[in-house]
Each structure stands twice: as structure tokens, then as C-alpha cells.
Amino acid sequence: MELLLLASAVWLGILTSVSPCPLATNIAAVSFISRRITQRNTVFLSGILYTLGRSLTYIVLGVLIVKTLVDVPILSDFLQRYVNKILGIVLILVGMVLLDLLRVPLSLPSVSENVAKKLIEKGAFGSLLLGILFALAFCPVSAALFFGGLIPLAVKAKSGIGLPLIYGIGTSLPVLLFASLVATGTSYINNLYHRITKVEFYTKKATGIIFILVGVYYALAYIFEII
């Protein structure tokens, strides 16, 4: 019974990630995670943190719904209505940072300065934020699967943390798989041509461009409502 629940949660997650509507964000996520393409460990760490970010969002929503009496339709409507609108603008700005068109003055909290700095240097911290943000960007299909599929299961099993966690892992599985394939493939090419630094220069630029394109798409679809 437990196993069946867990399997359903993973399956709902996978269905969410392969449905066509989050495709644009998945492309952005894959390119972001595999951006430091020559450092396979960083790609791996980014992938884990991206997954963690997604799960975190689902856990917070799950706990809110299971433990408190948050009104699910209103929550779902709110997220679908507003997050997607803001997402476009955020993606364009992040893309501009990646293309060095914008500079972000970073002032970090002093306590964990070293740790945070390391994470940011590796670009992994960004993956966590990206996971949180992309999980919040619900579209009709993911809303049906999460609010209509997973949440009823979680409520029944009184599992506000476990099932959303597993679901979050499910939603990032294809992205993780693809990112690691990209990283493996390109590092093989790298070894052939010994052009490591150049490749990284281009992958960062490519990620920036993808972010801007995806951002423009989201703005056109959700703000201007013309796609």
C-alpha cells in the first residue's frame, strides 16, 4: 500500500515533467544545470539542488494544504495566474546576467559567507532557486496532476511531506537524466578537442540566450496573451 502510494507519487511527477506545458522551463533547467559542462560534479550538484528546490516547493504547498485549511482552488488559481506572469520577467533578467549584460552586486549574509560564496561560484545555489521557482509555475496540466492527483493522495495518507517530496523528485527526473547525458556527451567531445575553457564560455552564453527566449515566450503567453 505504502509502496503503491510512493510509486503513484513518482509517476505523477514524471507525467508532470514530460507533459508539453512545462517544456519551456525544462529546457531552461537542463541548460542551466549542465551549464558548467566541463565540471561533471558541479552538474551533478546542480541537479540535486534543483530537485531539492522543486521538492521544497511541493512540500511547503503540501504541508499548507494537509495541515492547515488552505483553500486549494484559490491557491491553485493564484499560482497559475501570477507566477507564470512574473516568471517571464525573472527569466529575462537572469538571462541578461548570464550574458553579462547585467551585473548583480552580491552582498551575502556574513554567517555562512564562505559556504554561500562557494555555492554561488559553482552556480549551484541558483539551481536551488530555479527549482523552487519553476515548481511554483503551475500550468493546467501540472495543476491537474498536483492539486487534482497528488494532493488528494497526500490528504488521504496524511502525508504533507513524504509524498510531495517524492513527487518533486519525479518531476525533476527527466531533467536530471537529460542534463547528465548532455554533460557526459560534451565532456567526451571536450576531451577530444581540448577546448575546455572555450566550451564553457559558449555554454554560459547559450544558457543566457535560452533563458531570454523562454522568458520572452512566457511574457508573450501570459502577460501579453498573444501566443
Partner 1 sequence: MDIKKLLKGLLFIFVALSLGVLIYKEFSPKKEIKATNIVETRGEKTTVSVEPVPAPKSQHLKEPATKQKQESPAPLTEVKSQNSKVIAYYFHGTFRCTTCRTIEQYSHDAIQTYFAKELGDGRLEFRPVNIEEPGNKHFIQDYQLVTRSLVLSLMSDGKETKSKNLADVWKLVRDKDKFFQYVKDEVEKFLKET
Choose which of 89, 104, 108, 181 interacts with partner 1 (CB under 8 A).
89
Least distance CB 213 / partner 1 (angstroms): 11
**Cell output for 14:** 514524471
Residues with Cβ within 8 Å of residue 181, at least 6 apart in sequence: none
Smallest distance, partner 1 to C-beta of residue 194, A: 29
Minimal distance, residue 21 CB to partner 1, in Å: 5
77 binds partner 1 (CB under 8 A): yes
Distance CA 75, CA 143 (A): 10
Q: Is 212 in the site for partner 1 (CB under 8 A)?
A: yes
Count of residues that bind partner 1 according to CB under 8 A: 38
Contact residue for partner 1 among 33, 143, 175, 179 (CB under 8 A): 143
64 contacts partner 1 (rule: CB under 8 A): no
Residue of 33, 132, 133, 139 interacting with partner 1 (CB under 8 A):
139
The grid coordinates of residue 29 equal 533547467
Name the minimum Å distance from CB 142 to partner 1: 9
**Listed ranges 83-91, 123-131, 159-167, 194-202: which one lies at the site for partner 1 (CB under 8 A):** 83-91
115 lies in the site for partner 1, by CB under 8 A = no
Q: Does 144 bind partner 1 (CB under 8 A)?
A: yes
**Nearest alpha-carbon partner for 44 in 179, 168, 211:** 179
Helix axes 124-136, 23-33, angle to 10 degrees: 170
- Tell me the window of 107-115, 145-153, 159-167, 177-185 that interacts with partner 1 (CB under 8 A): 145-153
The residue from 31, 51, 76, 159 that contacts partner 1 (CB under 8 A) is 76
Binding site for partner 1 (CB under 8 A): 19-21, 71-74, 76-77, 80-81, 84-85, 88-89, 92-93, 96, 99, 101-102, 139-141, 143-145, 147-149, 212, 216, 219, 221-225
